[in-house]
Structures are given as structure tokens and as C-alpha cells.
Amino acid sequence: MRLVVLPGDGIGPEITAATLAVLRRADEVFSLGLSFEEQEVGLARLARDGSTCPPSVLEAARAADGVVLGPVSHNDYPPRDKGGINVSGELRIQLDLYANIRPSRSRPGLPHFGRTPMDLVIVRENTEGFYSDRNMHWGVGEFMPTPDLALSVRKITAQGSSRIARAAFELARRRPRKKVTAVHKANVIKVSEALFLREVRAVAAEYPDIAYDEQLVDSMAALLVRDAQRYDVIVTTNMFGDILSDEASELSGSLGLAGSINHSDRYGMAQAQHGSAPDIAGQDKANPTSLILSAAMLLDWHARRAPGRDAFARAAAAIERTADALVTDPARRTGDLGGALGTRAFAEAFCQALQA
């Protein structure tokens, strides 16, 4: 498995280095045959080459078996015509990474902030919706006819809705509870949300073994706090999924523990769910668990794409177990979880603990 590694901005290089240490340890234990090609992206690449994401990065990503992307500070980038390309958004668009899979799970021994424990996965459509940088063939879907009027276009397609629904139902079929909940706002956004629900319901009819229900997005935001244990797999559109997954991850314990993978039928990309945290960059304070767990999800995704890759699935499961053991042990937590370990020390403890 050949991985392209893009460390990113802020804390990105630190947590990426920690993640690579864990992946190399997993390679030793499980004989995965991993290789790594590191490419600079973000502000450092902009200063060097005039672009945060030059074409060579996309070429490398297309040729690889997977991508590991560290957080990027795209809010600090200049306009696109001056080289400021949002690396995350560009890769999602160019590689058609339509499915963003974000699990949230509370862990025994680690405080969580909802009223009930949770073990759910949010399956977020990743290529359209309210995101103005990915809903037009050319340009962006926001415009200002006058200085005092701003408009934004939301794109929902039958194809996009159908394929994200299928990804959710296939995932639910691999989970014990086998349930999918579609989250929407069809009582207000009547046309585009009706199209989304039409396609999800059509896919649901093909999976009679999977329980299916629907929930309005505003009530879902409340129910994640009040009764998250009733949910298993949640499928929704781009912006709703972005917001709800951050809420769920924080409620389950910390956004710093939130793994995330973006995938298409051909490409997969591991990406921490959180941002680049430039205020603590270079201070050895960042918790690398989110990106480590995202990398484990990438290994598991690779395992499911073809027979004979059981070692990748075993490695992913071992990384998950090791993360649980470390973050639920107060003596081996990072500072954001009340522990004393820095980024490098946590990575070392992780590598020492990782076994078959």
C-alpha cells in the first residue's frame, strides 16, 4: 500500500509525524508493505512554489493507494487566483471523495458529555450541498448582485444522494444494529431535500434487512445530546453532516478523538476531523489521536476493496484497541484530555503498546 502524506499547516506536521510513526509500527507488526511519499502542501508550499496545492500533488494522490492529509489553515490562504487552494476541498473535488465517514463513540473511563453513551457513524455527502466551492462547474456558488445582497446556491443531485445513501446502508449492514437514519430539513427546504429523501428512500427499499427512519436536522442536534444511543448510522447532506459530526464527536469525549475518512469508489483519504490549531503549533501539545484513527480507517477501507488484505483490517482494529487503551488511561493521555503527555511522547507510548 503506497500512501501519499501531506502534513499540512499548524499542528499538521506534528500529528502527521506521530501518525506515520504508528503506521510504521503497524507495518512492522502486521507486515503490510507500506510505503510513503511525502509532499508539502499549504502555506509552506505556497511560499516555495506559489500554490498551496500544485498539480503535482493531485498527480501523486491519483497514483497512490491512499492519502494521509494533515489539517490545513485554508482560512489564512490568499484567493485561489493567487495560489490559495483549499487542499482538503480540492482533493475531495478532484478525487470525487463523495463519502465522508465520521464515527463517534464514547469510551468507558473517558468522560463524555451527552446524557447517554453513543456508538454511531455519520455518513456525510462530501461533494455538493451548501459548500460553495464544490457545487458549480466553474467558479463558486456564492455571488453578490449588489454590495448589500449576497446569494448562495445549494446543489443536490439524484446521483449524489443515491450513492451516499448506498454507502450508509452498506456500512449499516456491517454493524450489529443495522439501522440508518436520514437527516434532512424537508419541512422548510422543500425541493432539494425532497430530492435527497426520494433517493435515500429508494435505496432503503433495496435493503429490507436494515431498519430505516428519518429525522429533522434541528431535532437531531438536540437528540444527540439527549438520546444518542438510539442512533446507529446517520446519512445526511454536506453541511448538516459537517455540523452534526463535530457535535457528536465532542459529545462522545473530544473532537481530538474523532477519526474521519473521505472516499470514492477508487480513492481514500484519511483526515483528522479537527482543524490546524496554529495557536499551539510547534509546542508538542497537539493530540494526534484523530489522525491516527483516521489512518486506521484508511487501512480498513483498503482491506475491504479486495480479497486477501486481512492484515490491513487486523492492523486497523489493533490501532483502534490501542487508542482506546491509551485515552482511557489518565497516565497516558495528552494534555487536552487532562494527561501529561505531549505529541511525541504519546506517539511513542502508542507504538510501544501496539501489538497484534
Question: 78-104, pLDDT tens digit by residue?
Answer: 999 999 999 999 999 999 999 999 999
Q: In this structure, how many other beta carbons lie within 10 angstroms of the beta carbon of residue 302?
A: 21
Residues of the chain above pLDDT 70, percent: 100
Count Cα atoms within 13 angstroms, Cβ side, for 122: 31
82 is catalytic: no
Which of 185, 284, 285, 329 is catalytic? The answer is 185
pLDDT-based confidence at 134, cuts 50/70/90? confident
Which of 212, 242, 267, 300 is catalytic? The answer is 242
pLDDT greater than 80 at residue 138: no
pLDDT-based confidence at 140, cuts 50/70/90? confident
With CA atoms as reference, report the closest residue to 244 among 192, 183, 321, 197. Answer: 183
Which of 76, 119, 133, 246 is catalytic? The answer is 246
185 is catalytic: yes
Which residues are bridge partners to 104 per DSSP?
120
Which of 131, 207, 212, 267 is catalytic? The answer is 131
The pLDDT assigned to 356 comes to 84
Tell me the CA end-to-end span of the chain in Å, nearest whole number: 19
β pairing state of 261-263 and 268-271: antiparallel
Which residues are bridge partners to 211 per DSSP?
179
Q: According to the 3-state scheme, what is the secondary structure of the chain?
A: CEEEEECCCCCHHHHHHHHHHHHHHHHHHHCCCCEEEECCCCHHHHHHHCCCCCHHHHHHHHHCCEEEECCCCHHHCCCHHHCCCCHHHHHHHHCCCCEEEEEEECCCCCCCCCCCCCEEEEEEECCCECCHHHCCCCCCCEEEEECCEEEECCECCHHHHHHHHHHHHHHHHCCCCCEEEEEECCCCCHHHHHHHHHHHHHHHCCCCCCEEEEEEHHHHHHHHHHHHHHCCEEEECHHHHHHHHHHHHHHHCCHHHCCCEEECCCCEEEECCCCCCHHHCCCCCCCCHHHHHHHHHHHHHHHHCCCCCHHHHHHHHHHHHHHHHHHCCHHHCEHHHCCCECHHHHHHHHHHHCCC
pLDDT greater than 90 at residue 133: no
Q: How would CATH label the architecture of 1-98+256-356?
A: 3-Layer(aba) Sandwich (3.40)
Residues of the chain above pLDDT 90, percent: 94
218 is catalytic: yes
Q: What whole-number distance in Å separates Cα of residue 344 and Cα of residue 288?
A: 9
β pairing state of 142-146 and 261-263: unpaired
β pairing state of 2-6 and 233-236: unpaired
pLDDT-based confidence at 149, cuts 50/70/90? very high
Which of 213, 218, 227, 265 is catalytic? The answer is 218
The pLDDT assigned to 139 comes to 77
| Domain residue ranges of the chain, discontinuous segments joined by + | 1-98+256-356, 112-129+157-252
Residue type, 106: S
With CA atoms as reference, report the closest residue to 75 among 52, 102, 103. Answer: 52
The pLDDT assigned to 314 comes to 98
- The chain-wide mean pLDDT, for the chain, equals 96
| Angle separating helix axes 289-304 and 310-327, nearest 10 degrees | 160
213 is catalytic: no
pLDDT-based confidence at 301, cuts 50/70/90? very high
CATH code of 112-129+157-252, in short, is 3.40.50
Q: Are 355 and 349 in contact (CB under 8 A)?
A: no
pLDDT-based confidence at 2, cuts 50/70/90? very high
